Structure 1
Amino acid sequence: MGTYETGAVRSADAETAHTGTPDIIAELLDLGSTDMDPSRRTMLGAIGLYSAALAVPQWGEISGRLDKLRYNPHTRIGTREVEAVRTMTEHLSSLDDQLGGRTVRPMAAAFLVNTIVPYLHAEASDAVRRQMLSAGADHCYLTGYMAMDECADGLAQRYYLQALKLAGYADDHLTYCTTLRGMSVQATELRHGINAAALADAAAAAAPQAGPRMLAFLSGQQAHAAAQAGDRDTALRKLREAEEAMDRAESQARAFGSYDPAALSYHTSQVRYELCDRAGSVQALEAADRQRPSAYRRVRVRNLGTLAERKLELGLLEEACKDWNRMLDDYVAVQSGRCDERFHEMMNSLRPYRKNPHAGQLHERGRAIARQQSQLRPS
């Protein structure tokens, strides 16, 4: 199979499929144990650098392998343990939205090691084991997203790969395709447009029967990735598909994950920006800001920073300063590497305009926040 650079998702090593299944539970224990140890967390970013040619396990290589997993006959779990894992993962996801990945990921790694890994070892009915594998896959996907938010992109890939494997073992197509999409989001963050498009297309191809909101969830990312890869026609077509699907889904009360009108407006903005429509991008980001629920504080910080940067590109300095001030209102409560990037970009962008009263006051506010942050960091 070709690498991402050729637009195809690579298969995992075929030899592994024939020589036996690796001990995925041992892999999870090693990954989570290293990540939850404060003395080793700094090392993680350097160990696992992001790979644009990472081998991604295909569905046929990992599905239907429930019998390959080892288990401990002395402990047994049921549906209550599965529900406990899902409840905890949802709670950590909500905290992540409000506080950022740097704050929450140590808790997620500890829960993986201390609770999920023992549950995966336990004896259970086949149905319960599949449910626990699926719950574990969701948790690994979330933890990978937190690592990406902290700019530990190689570590995020390691968690995403574990999520793919667990989803395959559980025969959980939904989590498998959601994780592939998450890997596409990461690739767009890092400007690997061709890789991002390949992963987004693989996610759509692997998806189970999709309702309208899930179609929007997948098509929106396909549009963004295609635009970044320079495929204008595909980007616009996929964006129309996402908009039409969201229109059909509006009668449904519950969003698919966090994909809602604000997320679609964000994708619209990204497509327009990649296609050199800066004004249209600003309009769509402003719509996303109006539509976004207040619980998504981390996303609001990032998007307000991006909105201000694009307004400055249009020469709208005072409007940009207003958005940056709003960003700082929430930034002080969020621990996120990606949000830090927006903060540092703000400070660099303001430097030439410090004689402007709006820019000068904002720059001073930013300096005060930076001093406070440096005092709070451990020496």
Structure 2
Amino acid sequence: MDPSRRGVLGAGLYSVALTIPDWPDVIGRFDRLKTNPHTRIGMAEVEAVIAMTERISEIDDQFGGRTARPMAAAFMVNNIVPHLKATAADDVRKAMLSAAADHLYLTGYMAVDERLDLLGQAYYTKALELALAAGDHLTYCTTLRGMSVQAVELGHGAAALRYANAAAAASPEAGPRMRAFLAGQQAHALAQTGDRTGALAKLHEAEVSMEQAESKAKAHGSYDPASLSYHVAQVNYELGDREGAIRALQHSEKVRPTVYRRARVRHLAMLAEWQLEGGRLEEAVQNWNLALDDYPHVQSGRADDRFHAMLSASRSHRRNPHVRGLLERAHPMAGGRQHGNTLNPFPAKTSSRNARGWRA
């Protein structure tokens, strides 16, 4: 059972006027949360929530949001909500709120991956509330950044920039990897709004911060050079440098860990689209075929968007034998797949992430 499906009929619409919750409202709300005096939790329950979120994230990266999100939603209803109502020491309660916020952020990301954008926003907003109640600036900033990624995918550059700037403002003492993580997203949003100077400045800031971060010990699952190269590609493409965008995206895919199957499908398809725009038909077909190697394993609305973009872009070249072979291979894969979300009135672009907590 997927508890969040109750509101699925309106889940595809996206709101550009989403309000970011503020601290006093959230703190008061969670102070009034009723607790169950007959249930008590400790750090073991917190660790179980963290571990479950990690496992679901791994499934999501491999198989997509439609596969993983029902597990996350059910776990939230059946396990996390009772934990939030249980009696606990203050440190345990804050840790549980933080773990729940991270789980909600992941669930929201998976809803966005399904192209259930309004549902994703609802999860994101609740994740912000729990992160604030826990005093968890990392999850709060990461969630705002996820909201910016969603907005920029849908072509709402101004909203994307607002969320990215809010994330950066909320993390004044961030380390170099987090600064790179946030500045890269600011650069993408600025480029989409047409601010070339601002976008390039933020991209340089991200590159400098990444150099500082890479000189230190690497953290598993953190924002990495592949993610930065992806942002370089997006900024270049938004600013009209298609060939620079292609080179950057090729580098991103070269250094990206192979475990991120959905990202590979989407980025190879995006690369092919850009190559076709530049008249590089055979290279485009080669990358589309590579994307099709993994596409049947990924249940993702955003991957579906790229698949249907491939069909649309390549049909005018179907007399080419390479394209004809591609379309013949793709045809059986279209069965049972929806074209994104028919309730979503906004054209989906592309974005990715490379691990839970550092969505690119």
TM-score, with normalisation over the residues of structure 1?
A: 0.86
Change (3 A) 1:215 1:128: same
Give 1:292 shift.
0.5
Secondary structure of 2:297's match?
A: coil
Give 1:48 shift.
6.3
Secondary structure of 2:16's match?
A: coil
| Residue 23 (structure 2) pairs with residue 54 (structure 1) | no
Give 1:253 shift.
3.5
Distance 1:325 1:47 in 2: 32
- For the 8 Å contact 1:147–1:153, the answer to whether it is kept is yes
Work out which of the residue numbers 156, 176, 179 in structure 2 matches 1:212.
Answer: 176
Secondary structure of 1:307's match?
A: helix
Give 1:257 shift.
4.2
The residue that corresponds to 1:262 in the other structure is 226
Secondary structure of 1:53's match?
A: coil
The residue that corresponds to 2:214 in the other structure is 250
Distance 1:256 1:236 in 2: 28
Distance 1:98 1:133 in 2: 27
Q: What are structure 2's unaligned runs of at least 5 residues? A: 339-360
Distance 1:225 1:260 in 2: 19
CA RMSD of aligned residues (A): 1.7
The one-letter amino acid paired with 1:76 is R
Show the 5 A alignment for 1:127-166: 127-166=91-130
- For the 8 Å contact 1:223–1:238, the answer to whether it is kept is yes
The residue that corresponds to 2:350 in the other structure is none
Give 1:47 shift.
4.8
Distance 1:291 1:256 in 2: 15
The residue that corresponds to 1:83 in the other structure is 47
Distance 1:311 1:139 in 2: 37
The residue that corresponds to 1:122 in the other structure is 86
| Residue 8 (structure 2) pairs with residue 44 (structure 1) | yes
Distance 2:133 2:258 in 1: 36
The residue that corresponds to 1:189 in the other structure is 153
Distance 1:64 1:232 in 2: 42
- For the 8 Å contact 1:85–1:135, the answer to whether it is kept is yes
Secondary structure of 2:55's match?
A: helix
| Residue 255 (structure 2) pairs with residue 291 (structure 1) | yes
Show the 5 A alignment for 1:215-364: 215-255=179-219, 257-364=221-328
Distance 2:144 2:335 in 1: 39
Change (3 A) 1:316 1:48: closer
- For the 8 Å contact 2:11–2:116, the answer to whether it is kept is no
- For the 8 Å contact 2:249–2:271, the answer to whether it is kept is yes
Change (3 A) 1:236 1:50: same
| Residue 3 (structure 2) pairs with residue 34 (structure 1) | yes
Aligned length: 338
| Residue 57 (structure 2) pairs with residue 93 (structure 1) | yes
The residue that corresponds to 1:377 in the other structure is none
- For the 8 Å contact 1:200–1:218, the answer to whether it is kept is yes
Change (3 A) 1:320 1:99: same
Distance 1:170 1:372 in 2: 42
Change (3 A) 1:162 1:260: same
Distance 1:373 1:202 in 2: 36
Deviates most, 121-130 or 253-262? 253-262
Distance 1:256 1:113 in 2: 29
| Residue 172 (structure 2) pairs with residue 173 (structure 1) | no
TM-score, with normalisation over the residues of structure 2?
A: 0.90
The one-letter amino acid paired with 1:370 is A
Give 1:370 shift.
1.7
Secondary structure of 1:73's match?
A: strand
Secondary structure of 1:366's match?
A: helix
The residue that corresponds to 1:109 in the other structure is 73
Q: What are structure 1's unaligned runs of at least 5 residues? A: 1-31, 375-379
CA offset digits 1:140-174 (Å, max 9, x no partner):
00000000000000000000011001011111111
The one-letter amino acid paired with 1:124 is A
Instruction: Return the structure number with greater relative CO, CA threshold 8 A, min gap 6.
Output: 2
- For the 8 Å contact 1:305–1:324, the answer to whether it is kept is yes
The one-letter amino acid paired with 1:82 is V
CA offset digits 1:225-251 (Å, max 9, x no partner):
110011111100000000011111113
Secondary structure of 2:164's match?
A: helix
The one-letter amino acid paired with 1:115 is N
- For the 8 Å contact 2:40–2:86, the answer to whether it is kept is yes
Secondary structure of 1:276's match?
A: coil
Distance 2:239 2:82 in 1: 49
- For the 8 Å contact 2:187–2:198, the answer to whether it is kept is yes
- For the 8 Å contact 1:213–1:256, the answer to whether it is kept is no
Distance 2:192 2:9 in 1: 26
Deviates most, 51-60 or 320-329? 51-60
